[in-house]
C-alpha cells in the first residue's frame, strides 16, 4: 500500500473540493442570505486540511496498484462526504446536528438525494445551490470512476467494459489515459447540463431553479429547491423535459461518448445494455400507466404523464416526485422501488445494481433453462457479439448476492432500531440504490428517522455508490496484509 | 417425450395414492365423524381415473430421458395436489370451494402447512388425520425426488450431490437404483416418525395428536390439529421435542443414511452442509433470544424456550407456532421470515433455497473479495474437500436469481390483487419457501385471502417445492420441441 501517495491524492482532492465552497459563498454574498461565513469557514477548513496533508507528502511519487485504487475510490466519497457537511453544520438558522449534516452531504455526493431538511423553500439560496452542486460533483465523480477506474479494479463484473466492451465500443478504445477519458466524459456531462438548464428555463423555471434542477437531473440526484419537488411547478412540459434528461443520464457515458463523437444515433441502439435499459423502462411505463388508468387513480391523460414521469424517475433512481406516489395503490410504489434495484446503465450517474448486471443475470437464467433441457450442450453466454468469460460472470453473480445480503443486513439493522417494516424496506432500498425518497415515514424526508438509523443509512448510501465491493474489501484482513 | 410411459407412471401413482383415502375412511368409520362417504368417493375417483389411464397405456415401456423426468416430477405434485383436494370438497360440514380445497391439498402435499381452514378443533378427526397424512406423504415424496432424481436432472446445482457428494458420502455411493434408495430413505423417515410420535406421546399428547404432529414435524409441514398449533398444549417439553425433530428433519436424509448405517455420529459434523446449517441456526437462535430478552418481550427463560423453538420452526420452514410471533417486535418476525429463504439442507423435507446453495453463494462471495485483492490468483471454490466445477456453480447462481425473480413476480401479482404490503411479502415468502404462516392478514390462516390470490399462492407453493426450474422449464418452448 502506498499510503503517502494516497494521502497526497486525498490532499489535492480536498484542496480542489474547497473551491466548491467559493461559488455558494459568492451567491450568498450577492443574495445577502447570511450564509457567506459558513461557506468561507468551510473553504478555509477544507483547503487548510488538504494543504497540510499535501505539504507532508508532496514529494511522494509511485505507481498506484489495484489495492491503492480501492482505497482512493473509497476515500473520495467518505472524506469529501465528511468535509462537505461543514456548511450544513455552520450555516446560520440551519445548524444541523452532525448526523444530519453528514447525511445530507453524503446523500448529495452519492447522488442519492434523500434529504433531512424540510422547509426548503425558506432556505438560504446559497445552501440550496450548494446541495444541488454537491450532487452534480458526485455525478461526474461516479462517471469518471465507473468508466475509467472500476473496470480496472474489476468490481462486480465491470471488467465487462474493459475486456469485452460491448457493441459499438469494441473496435475503438476510450482515450486510454484516465485524464483524457475524464475530460471527454466531463464535456458530455457539461453539455447535457447546459441543454437541460436551457430546456427547463424555456419551459418556465427561473434561471436559478433551472440550473439547480439540471444539476439534479443530470446527476440522477433528485434534490430539489422546493419541498414539493418538481410538483411545485405544476407544469407538464417540465415533467416531460425531466423524463427525457433522466433517461439520457441513465445511459453509459462511454456510449454517449462514442455516439456523439461519430454523430451516429444508432450507436445507442447497437449497444445491448442501452437496448435492454430502454426496453425495460418502456415495459415498466406501460404496466404502471395501465395500472394507474385501470384503478382510476387518475384520468388516462394524467396517468400517462405521471406514470411515465415517475417510472423513469424511480427506475433511473433519480427520485424526483410530481405527486405523492406513496399514497397510490400499493402495487405502484412497490413495483417502482423494485425497479430501482436495476437502476440505470453502468458508467452513468444512476444507482442500483446497474442494467448490465441484471441483463447478464437474465441471460444466464435463460441459458440455465436451456442447459437443463440439453444437459450436454455447450451454450455460451454473450453480450453483444462477444462471449463473456467465466470470471466476469462469476463476479456479476457475487455482486448480486452480496448486494442482496447487504440489503438484508441493513434492513435488519433498521428494524432492530425499531423502524416499521415499510419504512425500513423502502429506506434501505432508497439509500442502497441511491434512489432517495422512500415510503412510510421517509416518503417526504428522512428528518424523523432516529440518529442511529441515519448513520446506518449513510453507510448504505456509500455502500451503494461504491458498488459494495469497494467498501467491503476494505474490511477484509487480506486487504491490509502484504 | 415418452408420453405413454409418463401416463402409465401417473396412472399407477394415482392408484397407489387412492389408498391414502382408505386410512381416513377407516378412522372416520371408527370415530363416526360423518366423513366416511367423502373419503370413499375420493378413493373411487382416484383409483378409477388412475386405473383408466393405466389401462390405456399399460403396455408402454421405454427408458425415460431427462425431459420425461421433469414432467414426471411436476405431475407428481400437480396431479396429486388436485386429486388430494377431493375429500375437502366432498366432506359434510366442510364443503370448501374449489380454490380452498386445492389450496389446502397442495399446501399439505408440498409440506407448506398454510391452511385456509379455521375451527380445526371442531373438524372431523378423519379430515384432521388426512391433512397431516398428506404432508407426511409429500415429505417422503420430496426426499426421494431430491436425493434420487433431482441430482440426475441437475436442477439448481443439485448435481453437487451427484458428482461431488460432500464429506463422508464421497467414498460410498447411495444404493444406486432409485427404488433401493427410496426404500432406505423411507425407513429412516419411518423411524424418525415413530420416535417423534413416541416422544410427543410420552410428553403428554394423546396418541392421535402425537401421531398427527409427528407427521407434521418430520415432514417439516406445520399443519396442526388445533388452531393454536403447538401453543394448544402449553407444554415446554413438547416444544423441546418438536425443536429437536424439526432440526433433524432439516438435515439431508442422504447424510442420515450414511451416519446411521455406519453408526458414527461424527458423520453429521463431517458434512459441510450440515455444519453450516447447524451453525446458522445456532447464530440465529442467539440473535433472536437476545433480542426477545433485551426488549423484555418475555422473561429470559421464556425468551430462550420460545426464541429457540420459533427460530428452528421458521428457519427449517416448518411453521409451527407456540405464540403469536406476528405481534413480537417487527425485527423478529422479519428476521425469521428472511431465514426461511435459506431453509433446511438439500435432500430434506425443508423448503427454501436450501443450505447447500446459500453456503455455496457465501463461499463464492468471499472468494470474489479475495479475487479483487489478488486479481491474478486462481482461487478454487470447494465444498468439503472437493472442488466445485463451474457448471454447478453457475447452476446455483441461476437458481438464486430465478428464485428472487419468481419471488418478485408473485409479490407484484399479489399486490396487484390489492393485498397490503406486509401480507403480500410474508405470504409470498411463506408459500415459495414452503413455510406456511405469514404476517398481517395471513398470520393465522389464509382463509380471508381473495380467490385469485389463492391460485397465485398455490402456484408459488408448487414452484417452491419443485425447485422453480422443474416447473419453469415446462413453460419454455424448447422443452416441447424435439
Ligand atoms: K437519486
Ligand atoms: K412448512
Residue-level pLDDT at B482: 62
Beta strands B382-383 and A386-387, pairing class: unpaired
Which are the contacts of A455, defined by CB distance < 8 A and separation ≥ 6? A99
Closest ligand to Cα B431: 2
Residue-level pLDDT at A102: 94
Poorest-pLDDT segment among A454-458, B1-5, B186-190:
B1-5
pLDDT tens-digit profile of B277-320?
A: 999 999 999 999 999 999 888 889 989 999 999 999 999 999 99
Closest ligand to Cα A138: 1
CA B111–ligand 2 middle distance (angstroms): 5
pLDDT tens-digit profile of B112-123?
A: 999 998 888 888
pLDDT tens-digit profile of B213-259?
A: 999 999 999 899 998 889 899 899 999 999 999 999 999 988 888 88
Residue B26: C-alpha distances to residues B163, B212, B348 (Å): 46, 16, 30
Which candidate from A67, A367, A412 shows the least CB-CB separation from B335? A412
Look at residue A111 and tell me if it is in a domain. no
CA B314–ligand 2 middle distance (angstroms): 8
At residue B169 the predicted structure's pLDDT band, cuts being 50, 70 and 90, is very low
Which are the contacts of A433, defined by CB distance < 8 A and separation ≥ 6? A317, A340, A341, A343, A351, A352, A353, A464
CB pairs under 8 A between A and B: 141
Cα separation, B361 vs B404, whole angstroms: 14
Please state the residue numbers annotated as binding site of A: 111-112, 220-221, 317-318, 434-435
- For the purposes of burial, counting CB atoms within 10 Å of the CB of A74, is it exposed (0-12), middle (13-18) or buried (19 or more)? middle
Residue-level pLDDT at A162: 52
Look at residue A121 and tell me if it is in a domain. no
Nearest to B413 by CA among A84, A338, A36, A466: A338
User: ipTM, 2 decimals?
Assistant: 0.84
At residue A175 the predicted structure's pLDDT band, cuts being 50, 70 and 90, is very low
DSSP assignment, residue B219?
T
Q: What are phi and psi of B125, to 5 degrees?
A: -60, -30
Look at residue A419 and tell me if it is in a domain. yes
Q: Quick one: CA dihedral A297, A300, A302, A304, positive or negative? A: positive
Which ranges in B84-206 belong to alpha helices (H)?
A: 86-90, 98-109, 125-144, 150-153, 160-163, 178-203
At residue B170 the predicted structure's pLDDT band, cuts being 50, 70 and 90, is very low
Nearest to B185 by CA among B316, B351, B348: B348
Residue-level pLDDT at A391: 78
Specify the 3-state DSSP secondary structure of A386.
strand
Residue-level pLDDT at A167: 34
CA B100–ligand 2 middle distance (angstroms): 18
Residue A44 has pLDDT above 80, yes or no: yes
Are residues A17 and A58 in contact, defined by beta-carbon separation less than 8 angstroms?
no
Specify the 3-state DSSP secondary structure of A387.
strand
Which of B1, B391, B421, B443 has the most A C-beta neighbours within 10 Å, making it the best mutation to test the interface with A? B421
Look at residue A459 and tell me if it is in a domain. yes
Closest ligand to Cα A316: 1
Q: From B1, which residue of chain A is nearest by alpha-carbon distance? A: A373
| Record: contact B478-A66, CB cut-off 8 A | no
Owning domain of residue A183: 167-482
Share the mean pLDDT of chain A.
Answer: 86
CA B403–ligand 1 middle distance (angstroms): 28
Rounded to the nearest angstrom, the gap between the alpha carbon of residue B33 and the centroid of all alpha carbons in its chain is 30
Closest ligand to Cα B139: 2
Which candidate from A375, A397, A476 shows the least CB-CB separation from B154? A375
Residue B173 has pLDDT above 50, yes or no: no
Are residues B172 and B241 in contact, defined by beta-carbon separation less than 8 angstroms?
no
Beta bridge partners of A386: A383
At residue A171 the predicted structure's pLDDT band, cuts being 50, 70 and 90, is very low
Q: Span B461-475, mean pLDDT? A: 87
Task: State the DSSP H helix or E strand holding residue B36, giving kind and residue range, or none if neither.
Answer: helix B36-57
Residue B357 grid coordinates: 446453495
Look at residue A205 and tell me if it is in a domain. yes
Residue-level pLDDT at A325: 78
Cα separation, A51 vs A35, whole angstroms: 24
CA A398–ligand 2 middle distance (angstroms): 29
Look at residue A64 and tell me if it is in a domain. no
| Record: contact B397-A364, CB cut-off 8 A | yes
Rounded to the nearest angstrom, the gap between the alpha carbon of residue B453 and the centroid of all alpha carbons in its chain is 21
Residue B435: C-alpha distances to residues B106, B181, B338, B341 (Å): 13, 27, 11, 9
Question: Higher confidence at residue A1 or residue A70?
Answer: A70
Poorest-pLDDT segment among A75-79, A169-173, A321-325, B101-105:
A169-173
pLDDT tens-digit profile of A51-100?
A: 999 888 878 777 777 788 888 888 888 999 999 999 999 887 787 899 99
Look at residue A114 and tell me if it is in a domain. no
Residue-level pLDDT at B351: 92
Look at residue A75 and tell me if it is in a domain. no
> In the block, which residue shows the cell 469497494?
A470
Which of A329, A393, A396, A401 has the most B C-beta neighbours within 10 Å, making it the best mutation to test the interface with B? A401
Share the mean pLDDT of chain B.
Answer: 86
Residue A302 grid coordinates: 394524467
Residue-level pLDDT at B205: 92
CA B318–ligand 2 middle distance (angstroms): 4
Nearest to A351 by CA among A248, A433, A243: A433
Residue B152 grid coordinates: 440426475
DSSP assignment, residue B388?
P
Residue B166 has pLDDT above 50, yes or no: no
Does B318 appear as a known binding residue?
yes
* Residues of chain B with C-beta less than 8 angstroms from the C-beta of A472: 369
Which of A152, A327, A340, A398 has the most B C-beta neighbours within 10 Å, making it the best mutation to test the interface with B? A398
Are residues A222 and A319 in contact, defined by beta-carbon separation less than 8 angstroms?
yes
Residue-level pLDDT at A316: 94
Which ranges in B417-450 belong to alpha helices (H)?
A: 421-432
| Record: contact B401-A361, CB cut-off 8 A | yes
Q: How far is B272 from chain A (nearest CA, A)?
A: 20
Residue-level pLDDT at A475: 82
Residue A384 has pLDDT above 80, yes or no: no
Q: Span A390-418, mean pLDDT? A: 88
Question: Higher confidence at residue A146 or residue B450?
Answer: B450
* Residues of chain A with C-beta less than 8 angstroms from the C-beta of B404: 404
| Record: contact B331-A416, CB cut-off 8 A | yes
At residue A4 the predicted structure's pLDDT band, cuts being 50, 70 and 90, is confident
Q: From B364, which residue of chain A is nearest by alpha-carbon distance? A: A398
| Record: contact B372-A155, CB cut-off 8 A | yes
Which are the contacts of A76, defined by CB distance < 8 A and separation ≥ 6? A13, A141, A145
Q: From A481, which residue of chain B is nearest by alpha-carbon distance? A: B373
Residue-level pLDDT at B168: 35
Residue B140 grid coordinates: 417422503
The per-residue DSSP string of A279-339 comes to: HHHHHHHHHHHHHHHHTTSS-HHHHHHHHHHHHHHHHTT----SS-GGGS-THHHHHHHHH
Residue A19 grid coordinates: 473551491
> In the block, which residue shows the cell 474489501?
A473
Using H for helix, E for strand and C for coil, what is the string for A76-142? HHHHHHHHCCHHHHHCCCCCCCHHHHHHHHHHHHCCCCCCCCCCHHHCCHHHHHHHHHHHHHHHHHH
Q: From B389, which residue of chain A is nearest by alpha-carbon distance? A: A390
Which are the contacts of A434, defined by CB distance < 8 A and separation ≥ 6? A110, A111, A112, A113, A220, A317, A343, A350, A351, A352, A461, A464, A465
Number of domains making up chain A: 1
Cα separation, B241 vs B313, whole angstroms: 12
Closest ligand to Cα A432: 1
Residue B368 grid coordinates: 470474489
- For the purposes of burial, counting CB atoms within 10 Å of the CB of B475, is it exposed (0-12), middle (13-18) or buried (19 or more)? exposed
Which are the contacts of A10, defined by CB distance < 8 A and separation ≥ 6? A50, A53, A72, A75, A79
Task: State the DSSP H helix or E strand holding residue B383, giving kind and residue range, or none if neither.
Answer: strand B382-383
Residue-level pLDDT at B164: 36
Highest mean pLDDT among A164-173, A175-184, A409-418, B56-65: A409-418
Which of B74, B284, B338, B365 has the most A C-beta neighbours within 10 Å, making it the best mutation to test the interface with A? B365
Q: From A408, which residue of chain B is nearest by alpha-carbon distance? A: B338
Amino acid at each position: 500500500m502506498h499510503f503517502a501517495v494516497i494521502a497526497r491524492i486525498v490532499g489535492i482532492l480536498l484542496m480542489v473540493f474547497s473551491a466548491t465552497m467559493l461559488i455558494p459563498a459568492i451567491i450568498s454574498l450577492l443574495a445577502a442570505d447570511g450564509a457567506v461565513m459558513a461557506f468561507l469557514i468551510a473553504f478555509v477548513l477544507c483547503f487548510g486540511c488538504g494543504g497540510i496533508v499535501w505539504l507532508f507528502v508532496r514529494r511522494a511519487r509511485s505507481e498506484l496498484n489495484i489495492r491503492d485504487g480501492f482505497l482512493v475510490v473509497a476515500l473520495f466519497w467518505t472524506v469529501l462526504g465528511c468535509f462537505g457537511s461543514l456548511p450544513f453544520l455552520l450555516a446560520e438558522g440551519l445548524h444541523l446536528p452532525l448526523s444530519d449534516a453528514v447525511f445530507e452531504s453524503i446523500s448529495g455526493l452519492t447522488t442519492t438525494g434523500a434529504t433531512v431538511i424540510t422547509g426548503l423553500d425558506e432556505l438560504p439560496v446559497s445552501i440550496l445551490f450548494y446541495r444541488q452542486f454537491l450532487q452534480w460533483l458526485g455525478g461526474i465523480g461516479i462517471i469518471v470512476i465507473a468508466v475509467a477506474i472500476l473496470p480496472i479494479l474489476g468490481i462486480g463484473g465491470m471488467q465487462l467494459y474493459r475486456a469485452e466492451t460491448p457493441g459499438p465500443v469494441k473496435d475503438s478504445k476510450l482515450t486510454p489515459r484516465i485524464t483524457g477519458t475524464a475530460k471527454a466524459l466531463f464535456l458530455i456531462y457539461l453539455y447535457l447540463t447546459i441543454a437541460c438548464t436551457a430546456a427547463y428555463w424555456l419551459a418556465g423555471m427561473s434561471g436559478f431553479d433551472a440550473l439547480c434542477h439540471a444539476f439534479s437531473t443530470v446527476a440522477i440526484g433528485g434534490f430539489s429547491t422546493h419541498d414539493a419537488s418538481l410538483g411545485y411547478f405544476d407544469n407538464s412540459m417540465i415533467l416531460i423535459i425531466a423524463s427525457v434528461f433522466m433517461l439520457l443520464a441513465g445511459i453509459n457515458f462511454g456510449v454517449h461518448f462514442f455516439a456523439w463523437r461519430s454523430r451516429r444515433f444508432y450507436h445507442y441502439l447497437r449497444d445491448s445494455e442501452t437496448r435492454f435499459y430502454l426496453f425495460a423502462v418502456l415495459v415498466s411505463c406501460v404496466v404502471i400507466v395501465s395500472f394507474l388508468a385501470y384503478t382510476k387513480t387518475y384520468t388516462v391523460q394524467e396517468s400517462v404523464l405521471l406514470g411515465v414521469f415517475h417510472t423513469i424517475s424511480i427506475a433511473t433512481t433519480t427520485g424526483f416526485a410530481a405527486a405523492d406516489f406513496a399514497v397510490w395503490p400499493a402495487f405502484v410504489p412497490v413495483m417502482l422501488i423494485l425497479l430501482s434495484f436495476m437502476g440505470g446503465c453502468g458508467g452513468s450517474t444512476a444507482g442500483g445494481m446497474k442494467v448490465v448486471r441484471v441483463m447478464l443475470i437474465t441471460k444466464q437464467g435463460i441459458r440455465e433453462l436451456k442447459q437443463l433441457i440439453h444437459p450436454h450442450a455447450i451454450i455460451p453466454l454473450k453480450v453483444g457479439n462477444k462471449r463473456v468469460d467465466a470470471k466476469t460472470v462469476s463476479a456479476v453473480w457475487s455482486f448480486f448476492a452480496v448486494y442482496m445480503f447487504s440489503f438484508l443486513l441493513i434492513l435488519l439493522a433498521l428494524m432492530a432500531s425499531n423502524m416499521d417494516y415499510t419504512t425500513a424496506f423502502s429506506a434501505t432500498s432508497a439509500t442502497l440504490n441511491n434512489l432517495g425518497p422512500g415510503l412510510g415515514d421517509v416518503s417526504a424526508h428522512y428528518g424523523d428517522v432516529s440518529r442511529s438509523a441515519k448513520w446506518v443509512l449513510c453507510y448504505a448510501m456509500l455502500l451503494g455508490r461504491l458498488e459494495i465491493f469497494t467498501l467491503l474489501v476494505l474490511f477484509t484482513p487480506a486487504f491490509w496484509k502484504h
